[in-house]
């Protein structure tokens, strides 16, 4: 991805450590986090320094490499990484790939990260064919390069279009409570030079009703065998609104997000995070969380929801559109 004109990946191996763009601080600060312990990788995933399904899959593979280099038990390390976040299937895919792969520890993780980046690039190649010049796309959360090793899922076709010199416009949901849209997606689109406008999460219905949205395109954290999709909380509401307004609703995801062992969305574990993320709001520096409710206000914080497959027009994958 482009950061001030220079190419970066979300995470990579350098000087004996896993480096990652610290997503908790964007867009106010661009800081590279360096992690060289299994606990450090687990914390980075659960605290969302690295987040987004394919990115945490790759982080988990690097975490296994660190564990193996340090002589830790692979089974216990697998369990610790697996238990960091429950919803994204890519996390398990990255761990399982590592367990199956042959070779040096870091090589195995790099191989997974490279393949993950390529899968996302191909999602863009296939997805861009679906998108016409001037399209107005609405997206939710961050399914961009930051959520992956590179390219993104939902944002990958947009990048491919941009590279082909084709114009499009993106409505960016702010995505409460952690504001991945406001903080990450709008920043990525600016870096890539793609036209966009940030909107509050509550605006989508109004914009659709006014005929200002041609397509909804989001990522996924897990897709069940029947096609139900788990993605960032609020995705289901968008899908229902899109159906009501005759707007095609598409999901972009690599094969590593498909969980054949999960029959339907009802079997997917939905992560519930700390209520503090709802009662407080974080500025660029996570240490600066500000309260927005009275002290002690009860709150709940589900991170994902399930969109039944009947609302999904198609899934953009690295092999084409399903």
Residues 6+ apart with CB under 8 A from 275: 298, 299, 300, 301
Residue closer to ligand MRU (CB basis): 105 or 128: 128
Any contact of residue 116 with ligand MRU (CB under 6 A)? no
| Residue count (the chain) | 322
Do residues 226 and 309 touch, judged by C-beta distance below 8 A?
Answer: yes
Q: What are the CA-CA distances from residue 283 to residues 25, 52, 183 (Å)?
A: 8, 20, 10
Any contact of residue 139 with ligand MRU (CB under 6 A)? no
Residue closer to ligand MRU (CB basis): 105 or 282: 282
Pick out residues in 157-186 that bind ligand MRU (CB under 6 A). 180
Contact map string, positions 289 to 308, toward ligand MRU, x by CB under 6 A: --------------x-----
Sign of CA dihedral 122, 223, 322, 239: negative
Any contact of residue 53 with ligand MRU (CB under 6 A)? yes
Any contact of residue 141 with ligand MRU (CB under 6 A)? yes
Q: Give me the least distance between CB of 294 and ligand MRU, in Å please.
A: 26
Ordered alpha helix ranges (H), 3-155: 38-46, 53-69, 74-82, 89-100, 105-130
Segment interacting with ligand MRU, rule: CB under 6 A, options 36-44, 111-119, 143-151, 189-197 = 143-151
Any contact of residue 52 with ligand MRU (CB under 6 A)? yes
Q: Choose which of 54, 94, 124, 227 interacts with ligand MRU (CB under 6 A).
A: 54
Pick out residues in 208-267 that bind ligand MRU (CB under 6 A). 219-221, 231-232
Q: Choose which of 10, 68, 116, 153 interacts with ligand MRU (CB under 6 A).
A: 153
Kind and range of the H or E run holding 33: strand 32-35
Pick out residues in 77-96 that bind ligand MRU (CB under 6 A). 88
Q: Give me the least distance between CB of 29 and ligand MRU, in Å please.
A: 18
* Beta strands 304-307 and 229-232, pairing class: antiparallel
Q: Which residue is at the shortest CB distance from ligand MRU? A: 219
| Residue 96 is among the residues annotated as catalytic for this protein | no
Residues 6+ apart with CB under 8 A from 24: 47, 48, 49, 282, 286
Of the candidates 22, 221, 228, 305, the residue annotated as catalytic is 221
Residues 6+ apart with CB under 8 A from 232: 140, 141, 175, 180, 218, 219, 221, 303, 304, 305
Segment interacting with ligand MRU, rule: CB under 6 A, options 96-104, 139-147, 187-195, 308-316 = 139-147
Token output for 192: 């890539």
# of chain residues touching ligand MRU (CB under 6 A): 17
Residue closer to ligand MRU (CB basis): 54 or 265: 54
Give the angle subtended at the CA of 179 by the CAs of 266 and 63, to the nearest 5°: 70
Token output for 117: 């980046």
Q: Which residues bind ligand MRU (CB under 6 A)?
A: 51-54, 88, 141, 143, 147-148, 153, 180, 219-221, 231-232, 303
Which residues have a catalytic role annotated?
221
């Amino acid at each position: 991805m482009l950061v001030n004109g220079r190419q970066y990946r979300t995470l990579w191996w350098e000087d004996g450590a896993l480096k990652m763009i610290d997503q908790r601080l964007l867009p106010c600060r661009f800081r590279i986090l360096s992690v060289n312990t299994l606990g450090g990788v687990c914390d980075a995933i659960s605290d969302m320094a690295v987040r987004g399904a394919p990115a945490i899959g790759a982080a988990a593979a690097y975490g296994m490499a660190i564990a193996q280099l340090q002589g830790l038990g692979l089974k216990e390390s697998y369990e610790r990484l697996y238990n960091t976040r429950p919803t994204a299937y890519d996390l398990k895919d990255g761990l399982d790939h590592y367990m199956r792969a042959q070779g040096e520890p870091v090589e195995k993780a790099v191989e997974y990260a490279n393949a993950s980046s390529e899968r996302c690039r191909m999602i863009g190649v296939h997805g861009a064919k679906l998108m016409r010049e001037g399209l107005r796309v609405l997206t939710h959360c961050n399914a961009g390069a930051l959520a992956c090793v590179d390219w993104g899922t939902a944002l990958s076709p947009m990048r491919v279009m941009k590279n082909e010199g084709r114009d499009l416009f993106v409505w960016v949901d702010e995505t409460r409570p952690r504001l991945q849209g406001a903080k990450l997606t709008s920043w990525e689109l600016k870096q890539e030079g793609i036209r966009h406008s940030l909107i509050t999460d509550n605006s989508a219905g109004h914009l659709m009703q006014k005929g200002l949205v041609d397509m909804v395109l989001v990522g996924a954290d897990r897709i069940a065998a029947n096609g139900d999709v788990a993605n960032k909380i609020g995705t289901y509401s968008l899908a229902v609104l899109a159906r009501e307004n005759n707007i095609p609703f598409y999901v972009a995801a690599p094969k590593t997000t498909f969980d054949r062992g999960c029959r339907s969305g009802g079997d997917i574990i939905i992560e519930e995070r700390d209520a503090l993320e709802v009662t407080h709001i974080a500025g660029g520096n996570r240490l600066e969380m500000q309260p927005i409710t009275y002290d002690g206000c009860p709150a709940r914080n589900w991170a994902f929801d399930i969109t039944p497959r009947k609302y999904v027009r198609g899934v953009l994958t690295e092999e084409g559109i399903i």
